[in-house]
Amino acid sequence: MLPHYVWSDFRDVTDELKRSGFPVQLEWFARIFEFRFPACGTLELDNIFLEVRHALEPCMSWEKKPARAARCVRDSSLEPVQVKIRG
């Protein structure tokens, strides 16, 4: 789950809630977003902005097999990140 798309989807949800009459502000959730997707580092050089941020990998599932079940989990040695460049 890349932070850019999670935040974009969350913005869509809060916009829909506002249109439905709920006084929800996207900024209320910024601290939760920062907690879930912390920035590893940023760099700005010659009007180019680079940001590296932790991402999430929701990779748990159950496989049903006759007389048993297996739970698959992601390889904990991998740390997914998002690299975002502007400019």
Give domain limits for the chain. Answer: 3-86
pLDDT value of residue 65: 65
How would residue 78 be classed by pLDDT, with cut points 50, 70 and 90? confident
Reported as half-sphere exposure (CB side, CA atoms, 13 A), residue 10 has a value of 16
Residue 69 has pLDDT above 90, yes or no: no
Q: What letter does residue 16 receive in the DSSP assignment?
A: H
How would residue 4 be classed by pLDDT, with cut points 50, 70 and 90? very high
pTM for this prediction = 0.73
The span from the CA of 4 to the CA of 84, in Å, is 9
Instruction: Kindly provide the b/e burial profile for residues 8-44, where b requires at least 16 CB atoms within 10 angstroms of the residue's own CB.
Output: eeeeeebeeeeeeeeeeebeebeeeeeeebeeeeeee
Place of tokens 């929800």: 24
Range 32-44 average pLDDT: 95
